[in-house]
Structure 1
């Protein structure tokens, strides 16, 4: 097992290097920079060129990349030109919010998908199964940002059950019970909105696994031996159907990355997704490259986690 894990980690290293190069080059290819269109038009263009020269923005891309990588290894992701502070501090302020939003979304996702998938697979072709399947089809067809806007409008503005922006109520002291409860309260609506859409894949996959497992020979044998229906489902069908779901846990993390970009901006939730779009709008490329690189690394680590879990579930896939 450890050989498989080490080999996957070694494969991951060139992936991260290639990702960093592509992210850096694409950021530099974007039109303009942090000084474009955002300064006083009366400023002398020669002065702007002098600033760009002093900042090293006119150097060849490979020199800028080498300087940037050297700073990354020292824990320095550069300076944000628009936020007037180190990129590491900005990301440190936002990444905690995104982390807890992702955790809450994963919890809601599995709390919803596992009971629905089990019910739909066990009672397939029933009215209950048709209702659950209809929900998944609607989820597949509904864009996340449209659904999030509807949820915000209904539960945030019309009913007023949840806050419509922010991650905590203003004026609360960090570390207090009220502060923690406010954090959780602000998390519920964006996390639940994202979970209702992301859960449909797991529901359909679990349903298909249960229906397929019910037809296997060892299930027919267990029934022929007189095993009760509850024992057949709990000890045989569910155990074998849930294992592949666990293996896709890492890919759920990867899927959340794209979702947070939309959800955080719609709900005004100050996380990495909102920071990403703000930085693109402001042409703050030092922040853009750092955020995209972190998103990419998270995706790669999610795939690694899925491979490790899958190798534990099914040892046959391990690389010898």
Structure 2
């Protein structure tokens, strides 16, 4: 097992290097820079060129890339031209919120998906199964940003059950019980909105696994030996059907990255997704490249976790 894990970790190195090059080059190809379109038009163009030269923006891309990588190796992601602070510090302020949002979304996803998938698979072709399947079809067809706006309008503005923006009520002191309750209250609606959409694929997968497992020979043999229906489901069907769901954990992390970009902007939640779009609109490419690189690394790590979990579930897939 450790050989498989080490091999996959080594494969990650060229993947991350290639990813960093692609991200940096694409950022360089984007029109304009942090001085374009958002500077007082009365500023002398020669002064703007001096600033570009000072920041090294006129250097060839490979020179800028080498400087950028050198900073990365020292933990320096550069300076944000718009936020006037270190990118490392800026990301540190936002990544905590995104972490808790992702964690809450994963929790809601599995709390919803596993019971629905088990019920739908066990009682397939019944009205209950058709109702759950109908929910998954609607979920597949509904764009996340549309669903998020509906949830915000209904539960935030119409009913007023949850806050409509921010991550905590202003003025509360960090570490107090009121601060904790406010953080949770701001977290529930965006996390639940994303979970209700992302959960549909897990429901369908678990349903299909249970239906397929019910038809296998060892299940028919267990029933022929007189095993009770509850024992057949709990000891054989569910055990074999739930294990592959664990391998989805890493891919869930990857899917959350795209989801948080929409959800955080819809709910005004100050996380990495909101920072990403803000930086693009302000042409703050230092922040854009850093955030995109972190998203890419998270996707690679998510795929690694899925491979490791799946290799534990089914040792036959391990690379010899």
TM-score (norm. length: structure 1)? 1.00
**Counterpart position of 1:31:** 31
Q: CA offset at residue 210 of structure 1?
A: 0.1
1:283 aligned onto 2:283: yes
1:236 aligned onto 2:209: no
Could you tell me how far apart the structure 2 residues matched to 1:282 and 1:150 are? Answer: 28
**Deviation digits for residues 246-292 of structure 1 (CA, Å, limit 9, x no counterpart):** 01110000000000000000000000000000000000000000000
Q: CA RMSD in A?
A: 0.3
**Counterpart position of 1:198:** 198
**Counterpart position of 1:184:** 184
**Counterpart position of 1:212:** 212
**Counterpart position of 2:247:** 247
Could you tell me how far apart the structure 2 residues matched to 1:108 and 1:188 are? Answer: 9
**Counterpart position of 1:126:** 126
1:306 aligned onto 2:306: yes
Could you tell me how far apart the structure 1 residues matched to 2:20 and 2:177 are? Answer: 41
**Counterpart position of 2:67:** 67
| 3-state secondary structure, aligned to 1:248 | helix
| 3-state secondary structure, aligned to 1:21 | helix
TM-score (norm. length: structure 2)? 1.00
Q: CA offset at residue 114 of structure 1?
A: 0.2
**Deviation digits for residues 12-48 of structure 1 (CA, Å, limit 9, x no counterpart):** 1100000000000000100000000111100010110
Q: CA offset at residue 319 of structure 1?
A: 0.5
Alignment of 1:126-205 (within 5 A): 126-205=126-205
Could you tell me how far apart the structure 1 residues matched to 2:276 and 2:87 are? Answer: 12
Could you tell me how far apart the structure 2 residues matched to 1:131 and 1:46 are? Answer: 66
**Counterpart position of 1:315:** 315
Q: Which stretches in structure 1 are left out of the alignment for 5+ residues?
A: none
**Counterpart position of 1:3:** 3
Q: CA offset at residue 9 of structure 1?
A: 0.4
Instruction: Flag as ranges the 4+ runs of structure 1 deviating above 2 A.
Output: none
Q: CA offset at residue 306 of structure 1?
A: 0.3
Q: CA offset at residue 107 of structure 1?
A: 0.2
Could you tell me how far apart the structure 2 residues matched to 1:55 and 1:195 are? Answer: 42
Q: CA offset at residue 176 of structure 1?
A: 1.1
Could you tell me how far apart the structure 2 residues matched to 1:75 and 1:87 are? Answer: 10
Could you tell me how far apart the structure 2 residues matched to 1:247 and 1:20 are? Answer: 27
| 3-state secondary structure, aligned to 1:164 | coil
Q: CA offset at residue 178 of structure 1?
A: 1.0
| 3-state secondary structure, aligned to 1:41 | coil
Q: Which stretches in structure 2 are left out of the alignment for 5+ residues?
A: none
| 3-state secondary structure, aligned to 2:57 | coil
1:92 aligned onto 2:92: yes
| 3-state secondary structure, aligned to 1:31 | coil
Q: CA offset at residue 181 of structure 1?
A: 1.1
Q: CA offset at residue 177 of structure 1?
A: 1.2
